[in-house]
C-alpha cells in the first residue's frame, strides 16, 4: 500500500508565528502543509509568503486577492445593519474571519485535506470565529490550533525554535516587531498588548498608522457626496466605485482628516475583558452616512426594529456566528429593509469628525408640507393630536385615578 501522508491547510501570513506553526505541523503530524494567504487590504505585500513557504518545502500554495469579495459580501452587508458591538466597535477583525474560514474549507475540500490549522491563541476570539465557521461549513474536517497544544509561550521561544529549525525569518525585523499585536484589513487596523494592557495608559502618537491626529488634520473641511442603491454606496462625488474601492478611498481621505480612532475595553466571548485601539476611517464615515440615508427613507417602525435587533446581529458576528441560521435570517430581514434606501448623502469631514450636512432621495418619506412650522394648508390637523394623546394616556389616567402614584 502506498504511503499516504496527512494534508493540512494552514492560514499562513509568512510571519514568525505562522512560519513556526508550519514547521511544527510538519514535524508533529508528519503532514503535507498547504498554505493559504489572503490579501484583505492589510496594506502589506502578501506575495513574499510564497517564497517563504516554498523554502520550507510547501508544494501547494494559495495566495489570493480577496479585497473585492471581502468588501462586497461581508463588510457591506454588515453595514446595512449599522452593526456596532458594545456601542463602539465596528467589528473590523470579526467580519474578516468568516471569509478566511470559508476559503480554508474550500481549499481543504479541493485538496482532499484532513485538517485545517490557524494561528489564533487560546485566549482570544479568533479561535472561536474560525472554528465555528469550520463546524458550520465542513464538520468532517479536523481543526488544529497549535497555541493550544505546544509549549512555545513567547516570542523569544518562537525565535529560538525558528533558529533551531532554520526557518527563513528576518530575525532583525522579528526582533524589532511592534510591541502591539496588530490585525489589519480594508475595514480597520487594531492594536492590542504592550502598554495597552494598562487600561489607564494613553498610547503614544506614533502607534497610530493610518490616521493623523485630529490636531494635525487639515484646517479646511472636506465635503463628500455618496450615492446609495439599496443601502450600499455605489458612487462618491458622482464617480462609480466598487465596494472595495469605496473603502480604499475613504480610508485614505478619512485618515487624512483624523477620523476613525477608537480606544475601548471590550468583553471577549471567551470571558475576559480586553483593551484595544482601532483605526476605522472608512467604517466610521460609512456608518454615519448610512444612518443618514436610512433616516430619510425607512419607515419609523422598520428603523426602530432594526435598531433593536442590531446589537444581537453585531454580537453574532463578534462571537463567530456569521455562518449560522439566525444570522442569515436577520440578514434576509436587513437586506429586505434596504429596498428603498436609495439617494444621496453629503458629509463634511473635519478634524476627526464626520458631520452629515445633507441628504436627498426620490424614496424619501419626509414630507415638507406636513412637517413645516409654517402654514401647512390643512395637510395636518393639529386638533387630531388631542385625541391621540388622550388615548395614549388612558392607562396612566386610570392608574392615577385609582391612587397609584409615580415615585
The pairing of strands 189-192 and 222-229 is unpaired
Using CA atoms, how far apart are residues 318 and 353, in angstroms rounded to an integer? 26
The Cα-based distances of 117 to 62, 169, 362 in angstroms read 14, 20, 50
3-state secondary structure of 186: coil
Which is catalytic among the residues 60, 181, 295, 361? 181
Using N-to-C axis directions, what is the helix angle for 300-318 and 325-337, rounded to 10°?
A: 150
* Residue linked to cell 508544494: 59
Per the annotation, the verdict on 181 as an active-site residue is yes
Q: Is the dihedral of CA 27, 28, 30, 33 positive or negative?
A: negative
Adjacency order of strands within the sheet including 261-267: 181-184, 189-192, 273-279, 261-267
Q: In angstroms, what is the C-alpha Rg of the chain? A: 25
- Structure-block grid coordinates of residue 274: 480586553
Which is catalytic among the residues 32, 39, 114, 126? 126
- Structure-block grid coordinates of residue 242: 466598487
The pairing of strands 142-144 and 181-184 is unpaired
- Structure-block grid coordinates of residue 205: 502618537
Per the annotation, the verdict on 103 as an active-site residue is no
What value, to the nearest 5°, has the Cα angle with vertex 354 and ends 89 and 296? 90
The pairing of strands 31-39 and 6-11 is parallel
Phi-psi region of 71 (alpha: psi -120 to 50; beta: other; left: phi over 0): alpha
Using CA atoms, how far apart are residues 134 and 98, in angstroms rounded to an integer? 9
Which is catalytic among the residues 17, 32, 39, 183? 17
Q: Is the dihedral of CA 100, 102, 105, 107 positive or negative?
A: negative
Using CA atoms, how far apart are residues 22 and 43, in angstroms rounded to an integer? 23
Per the annotation, the verdict on 60 as an active-site residue is no
- E strand or H helix at 162, and its extent? helix 155-164
Using CA atoms, how far apart are residues 76 and 187, in angstroms rounded to an integer? 10
Per the annotation, the verdict on 102 as an active-site residue is no
Which is catalytic among the residues 97, 102, 103, 359? 97
Q: What amino acid positions are annotated as catalytic residues? A: 17, 97, 126, 181
Amino acid at each position: 500500500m502506498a504511503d499516504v501522508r496527512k494534508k493540512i491547510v494552514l492560514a499562513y501570513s509568512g510571519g514568525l508565528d505562522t512560519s513556526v506553526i508550519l514547521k511544527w505541523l510538519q514535524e508533529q503530524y508528519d503532514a503535507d502543509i498547504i498554505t493559504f494567504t489572503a490579501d484583505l487590504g492589510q496594506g502589506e505585500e502578501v506575495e513574499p509568503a510564497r517564497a517563504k513557504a516554498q523554502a520550507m518545502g510547501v508544494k501547494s500554495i494559495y495566495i489570493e486577492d480577496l479585497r473585492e469579495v471581502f468588501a462586497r459580501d461581508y463588510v457591506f452587508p454588515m453595514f446595512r445593519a449599522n452593526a456596532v458591538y458594545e456601542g463602539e466597535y465596528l467589528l473590523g477583525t470579526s467580519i474578516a474571519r468568516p471569509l478566511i474560514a470559508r476559503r480554508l474549507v474550500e481549499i481543504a475540500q479541493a485538496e482532499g485535506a484532513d485538517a485545517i490549522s490557524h494561528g489564533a491563541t487560546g485566549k482570544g476570539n479568533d479561535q472561536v470565529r474560525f472554528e465555528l465557521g469550520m463546524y458550520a461549513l465542513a464538520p468532517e474536517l479536523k481543526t488544529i490550533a497549535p497555541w493550544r497544544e505546544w509549549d512555545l509561550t513567547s516570542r523569544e521561544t518562537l525565535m529560538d525554535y525558528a533558529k533551531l529549525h532554520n526557518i527563513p525569518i528576518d530575525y532583525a525585523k522579528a526582533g524589532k516587531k511592534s510591541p502591539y499585536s496588530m490585525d489589519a484589513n480594508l475595514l480597520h487596523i487594531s492594536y492590542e498588548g504592550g502598554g495597552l494592557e494598562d487600561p489607564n495608559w494613553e498610547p503614544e502618537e506614533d502607534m497610530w498608522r493610518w490616521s493623523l491626529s485630529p490636531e494635525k488634520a487639515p484646517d479646511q473641511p472636506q465635503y463628500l457626496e455618496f450615492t446609495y442603491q439599496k443601502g450600499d454606496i455605489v458612487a462618491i462625488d458622482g464617480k462609480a466605485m466598487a465596494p472595495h474601492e469605496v473603502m480604499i478611498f475613504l480610508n485614505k481621505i478619512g485618515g487624512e482628516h483624523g477620523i476613525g480612532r477608537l480606544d475601548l475595553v471590550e468583553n471577549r466571548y471567551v470571558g475576559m475583558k480586553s483593551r484595544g485601539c482601532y483605526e476605522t476611517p472608512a467604517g466610521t464615515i460609512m456608518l454615519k452616512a448610512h444612518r443618514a440615508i436610512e433616516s430619510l427613507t425607512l419607515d419609523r417602525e422598520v428603523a426602530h426594529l432594526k435598531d433593536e435587533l442590531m446589537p444581537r446581529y453585531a454580537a453574532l458576528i463578534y462571537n463567530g456566528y456569521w455562518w449560522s441560521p439566525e444570522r442569515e435570517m436577520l440578514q434576509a430581514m436587513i437586506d429586505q429593509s434596504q429596498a428603498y434606501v436609495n439617494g444621496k448623502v453629503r458629509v463634511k469631514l473635519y478634524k476627526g469628525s464626520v458631520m452629515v450636512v445633507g441628504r436627498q432621495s426620490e424614496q424619501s418619506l419626509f414630507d415638507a408640507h406636513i412637517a413645516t412650522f409654517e402654514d401647512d394648508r390643512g395637510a395636518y390637523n393639529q386638533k387630531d393630536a388631542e385625541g391621540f394623546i388622550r388615548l395614549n394616556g388612558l392607562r396612566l389616567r386610570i392608574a392615577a385615578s385609582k391612587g397609584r402614584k409615580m415615585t
